[in-house]
């Protein structure tokens, strides 16, 4: 039956391989670039999360980040990849239901139940393999940047840890559920991908509410411990205990070269207010988000399985 799954899903599988290949080529090439730039500029000295960095570091880091900023902008586009992979992996099964070839497959010598369980098992395996590939590539690619800015931030979070597997699984599950009920491939693909985008967006904006972020005040220009590798949700200036607007006062602390005078700020009792998720929150957030996607996927797959077993003949 493995032969059938390979052959029947050949186009989709090849597309997935091509997509992963393209992503891999991109990440390995640009990643190698970043790694070597990182190494040759001695930036390894600048990765500590100490409250204050040597001055040379902030300049070097800025240069580095600016140089590879374009890659950072690709973050949102890279978010599409797990969705596309999931949709492609689930499409062959939906095609069988749409084109009626399941009636052929169910009347050879394998039972319908075995057909379904084997297909699902191999689908889950493919999801895991693709997911792990994305994680491996993403982790390698992000490593230099992560060493400055940590992995809790959105650009890194989505490509590392375990959530990529959950993303792919969810996209696949959505396609399966819509495909099983409607038996229309076009609808399943469009609907599944749409559902993926929607849920990803929702969870992305709700991510900072999954675990209550930390709020801290600090004396500018430094931040709280570990802020460098945290996901900074918001940062503002505030004058605690005073009713006045800190920003009005801030104006008077701007020096001639445009930067903020820290002594002036401390004189006026201006503090930095930080809302952030520290690096220690990486795995908890990963687990919660992955957990949500896994639960949704399980429900969708259960719906698909029930529908196929009981409503399709």
Name the minimum Å distance from CB 104 to other proteins.
5
**Site membership for other proteins, residue 252 (CB under 8 A):** no
**Site membership for other proteins, residue 15 (CB under 8 A):** no
Nearest-angstrom CA–CA distance, 87 and 32: 30
Name the minimum Å distance from CB 189 to other proteins.
17
Phi-psi group of 223: left, alpha or beta (phi > 0 → left; psi -120 to 50 → alpha; rest → beta): beta
Name the minimum Å distance from CB 96 to other proteins.
9
> In the complex with other proteins, which residue's Cβ is closer, 55 or 109?
109
Q: Are 164 and 51 in contact (CB under 8 A)?
A: no
> In the complex with other proteins, which residue's Cβ is closer, 1 or 302?
1
Query: Which residue in 137, 136, 124 sits closest to 172, CA to CA?
Result: 124
> In the complex with other proteins, which residue's Cβ is closer, 101 or 252?
101
Contacts 24+ apart (CB under 8 A), 190-199: 192/86, 192/87, 192/90, 193/83, 193/84, 193/87, 195/171, 196/83, 196/86, 196/87, 196/167, 196/170, 196/171, 197/83, 199/170, 199/293, 199/296
**Site membership for other proteins, residue 11 (CB under 8 A):** yes
Nearest-angstrom CA–CA distance, 13 and 6: 8
Query: What string marks each residue from 96 to 115 as x (binds other proteins by CB under 8 A) or -?
Result: ---xxx-xxxxxxxxxxx--
**Site membership for other proteins, residue 7 (CB under 8 A):** yes
Q: Which stretch binds other proteins (CB under 8 A): 3-11, 56-64, 183-191, 280-288?
A: 3-11
**Site membership for other proteins, residue 4 (CB under 8 A):** yes
Q: What does the radius of gyration of the chain's CA atoms come to, in whole angstroms?
A: 25
**Site membership for other proteins, residue 8 (CB under 8 A):** yes
Q: Is 150 in a helix, a strand, or coil?
A: coil
Q: Which stretch binds other proteins (CB under 8 A): 5-13, 78-86, 143-151, 245-253?
A: 5-13
H or E stretch covering 80: helix 75-99
Angle (nearest 5°) at CA 74 between 40 and 286: 90
> In the complex with other proteins, which residue's Cβ is closer, 4 or 24?
4
H or E stretch covering 165: helix 163-182
Query: What string marks each residue from 80 to 99 as x (binds other proteins by CB under 8 A) or -?
Result: -------------------x
Question: Tokens 């969705």 identify what position?
Answer: 83
Number of residues that bind other proteins (CB under 8 A): 22
**Site membership for other proteins, residue 118 (CB under 8 A):** no
> In the complex with other proteins, which residue's Cβ is closer, 58 or 107?
107
For residue 180, give every residue at least 6 positions away whose Cβ sits within 8 Å of its Cβ, in sequence order, or none: 94, 97, 303, 304, 305, 307, 308, 312
> In the complex with other proteins, which residue's Cβ is closer, 97 or 152?
97
Q: Which stretch binds other proteins (CB under 8 A): 6-14, 33-41, 181-189, 193-201?
A: 6-14
> In the complex with other proteins, which residue's Cβ is closer, 108 or 280?
108
Per DSSP bridges, beta strands 214-218 and 231-238 are unpaired
Residues that bind other proteins (CB under 8 A): 1, 3-4, 7-8, 10-11, 99-101, 103-113, 313
């Amino acid at each position: 039956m493995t032969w059938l799954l390979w052959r029947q899903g050949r186009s989709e599988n090849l597309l997935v391989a091509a997509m992963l290949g393209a992503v891999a080529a991109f990440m390995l090439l640009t990643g190698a670039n970043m790694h070597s730039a990182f190494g040759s500029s001695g930036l390894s000295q600048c990765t500590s999360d100490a409250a204050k960095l040597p001055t040379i570091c902030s300049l070097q880091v800025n240069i580095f980040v600016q140089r590879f900023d374009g890659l950072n902008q690709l973050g949102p586009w890279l978010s599409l990849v797990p969705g596309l992979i999931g949709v492609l992996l689930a499409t062959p099964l939906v095609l069988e239901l749409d084109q009626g070839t399941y009636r052929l497959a169910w009347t050879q010598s394998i039972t319908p139940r075995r057909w379904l369980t084997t297909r699902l098992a191999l689908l889950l395996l493919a999801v895991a393999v693709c997911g792990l590939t994305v994680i491996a590539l993403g982790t390698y690619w992000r490593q230099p940047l992560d060493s400055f800015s940590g992995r809790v931030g959105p650009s890194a979070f989505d490509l590392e840890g375990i959530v990529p597997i959950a993303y792919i699984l969810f996209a696949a599950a959505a396609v399966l559920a819509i495909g099983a009920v409607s038996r229309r491939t076009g609808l399943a693909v469009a609907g599944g991908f749409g559902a993926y985008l929607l849920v990803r967006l929702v969870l992305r904006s709700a991510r900072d509410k999954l675990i209550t972020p930390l709020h801290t005040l600090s004396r500018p220009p430094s931040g709280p411990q570990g802020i460098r590798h945290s996901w900074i949700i918001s940062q503002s200036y505030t004058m605690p205990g005073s009713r006045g607007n800190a920003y009005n006062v801030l104006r008077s602390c701007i020096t001639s070269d445009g930067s903020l005078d820290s002594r002036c700020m401390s004189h006026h009792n201006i503090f930095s207010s930080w809302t952030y998720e520290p690096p220690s929150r990486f795995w908890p957030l990963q687990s919660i988000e992955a957990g949500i996607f896994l639960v949704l996927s399980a429900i969708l797959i259960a719906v698909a399985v029930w529908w196929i077993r009981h409503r399709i003949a």
